[in-house]
Structure 1
Amino acid sequence: MDADAAPRRVRADAERSTARILEAAEAVLAEDPTAPLERIADAAGLARATVHRRFSSRAALLDALAAQLAQRYVQGLAEARVDTAPPVDAMLRMTETAFALKLAHRFAVQLTASMTPEVQGGLDRLFARLREAGAITAPDPTWGRRVYLALLHEVNDLPADSPMLDGDDLAARAGLLVGTVLRALGGVWPPAR
């Protein structure tokens, strides 16, 4: 057996345990934000000591959940091609990704730490590009981001049967949000093609 095989196996086991803990934490805390680490350990099928080895405190676990979500937002920004795609198209793709993440991470989306400077910067670049393309008139990308994020939460909270939604899928919610934000920031929706 290779001398490096044992450390890799331990590392892979540790990574799997960490992933199980984070997945369990997301599910448990979405149902009960005050749930103790013991419930998270039980849901992960791990000993409490294992959870404490991976996360020294509840705060460390919450930080890890926020970091994981932030990384998924960054990945969503890259996949939406916010720096290169037509900006309205990129905004629609990023919005669909954001709604999907909100569904999958019902607890973590409440953690403000997931809105890292990298995520905020990507959204600010998108709003600057929207202005440069004439899709909006608002001059401050930061204001655009703040309006977008505030309305993202509001649209996400709409009930499925809301008259504001044309259907209850990610595309319907994304269309409502993008249209509302573009109009609020001095643009038009749908854009002229």
Structure 2
Amino acid sequence: MDRKSQQRPLRADTERTVRAILEAAERVLGANPAATMEQIAEAAGVARTTVHRRFSSREALVSALREWAARQFHEAVTSAHADSAPPLVALYQVTANVLRVKTGWGFAMGATTPEDPEVARVHAEVLDQCERLFRRALEAGVLRPGTDLAWARRVYYALIHEAAQTRATETGNVDELAALVVDTLLRGVGQGGLLGS
């Protein structure tokens, strides 16, 4: 899709077709990153010419897939109401929503590059929302006073990454994984007090 066609709203049937192609591309490329446009078209249940009409090349399709996943990622965080829900509730909901995107759009999320301006913009907005959420969590007493928020966020991102990898390799429930991530972030795995005693 060129930039001009991306800016115009798509008709409902066209939007369904594009979504079917993107979902098929995620499945097919996730299983085989060297898959062809023809294999993607077959998985989407559309003609190869339909895929080529919407995406001029395989690179254009992968770029659209990255942008679609970035928008899903942004929506996952925004829909959790990180700025208004109680911080602990928001933290859990953001975690569950993000895990759904990372496990459902794993190929696309892994293919994102910082050079893509739309992806970079979306990720910057998400990081900003996450920073505000952690600040609210600190103010509400969900995090210990004096917590290094930058470090806490890095640990949180690493936990989400590991949970998404677990989901990709094992059968797991996203809600249970989200609870595990939040519990590990907030309580850790030790008995506590060892370094401070």
Q: Same fold (TM over 0.5)?
A: yes
Cα gap change, 1:99/1:108 in structure 2, threshold over 3 Å: closer, same or farther? same
Residue 30 (structure 1) shift? 1.5
Q: 1:135-187, CA deviations, whole angstroms, 9 ceiling, x for partnerless residues?
A: 2243344x433322221121233379x9xxxx942232112111222346xxx
Aligned residue for 2:79, secondary structure, equals helix
Contact 2:83 2:132 in 1 (8 A): yes
Q: Which stretch of structure 1 is more off in the superposition, 104-113 or 83-92? A: 104-113
CA distance in 2, matches of 1:56, 1:117: 28
Q: 1:52-72, CA deviations, whole angstroms, 9 ceiling, x for partnerless residues?
A: 221223232222222222222
* Aligned match of 2:116: none
Gaps of 5+ in 2: 1-9, 114-118, 193-197
Does the alignment pair 1:102 with 2:122?
A: no
CA distance in 2, matches of 1:83, 1:50: 41
Residue 80 (structure 1) shift? 1.4
CA distance in 1, matches of 2:142, 2:52: 49
Cα gap change, 1:127/1:59 in structure 2, threshold over 3 Å: closer, same or farther? farther
Q: Which amino acid in structure 2 is aligned with residue 171 of structure 1?
A: D
Contact 1:92 1:178 in 2 (8 A): yes
| Counterpart pick for 2:154 among 138, 143, 146 | 146
CA distance in 2, matches of 1:57, 1:120: 31
Q: Structure 1 segments of 4 or more deviating over 6 A?
A: none
Residue 129 (structure 1) shift? 1.6
| Counterpart pick for 1:131 among 130, 138, 152 | 138
Aligned residue for 2:182, secondary structure, equals helix
* Aligned match of 2:5: none
Contact 2:26 2:108 in 1 (8 A): yes
Aligned residue for 1:84, secondary structure, equals coil
Q: 1:32-79, CA deviations, whole angstroms, 9 ceiling, x for partnerless residues?
A: 122121211121222323222212232322222222222222222232
* Aligned match of 2:6: none
* Aligned match of 1:155: 163
Cα gap change, 1:169/1:28 in structure 2, threshold over 3 Å: closer, same or farther? same
Normalising to structure 2: TM-score of the pair?
Answer: 0.73
Gaps of 5+ in 1: 1-9, 189-193
* Aligned match of 1:93: 93
Superposition pairs of residues 1-193 of structure 1, within 5 angstroms? 11-113=11-113, 116-136=123-143, 137-141=146-150, 143-158=151-166, 168-183=172-187
Aligned residue for 2:141, secondary structure, equals coil
Contact 2:103 2:167 in 1 (8 A): no
* Aligned match of 1:6: none
Cα gap change, 1:173/1:13 in structure 2, threshold over 3 Å: closer, same or farther? closer
Residue 124 (structure 1) shift? 1.8
User: Identical aligned pairs, as a percentage?
Assistant: 43
Normalising to structure 1: TM-score of the pair?
Answer: 0.74
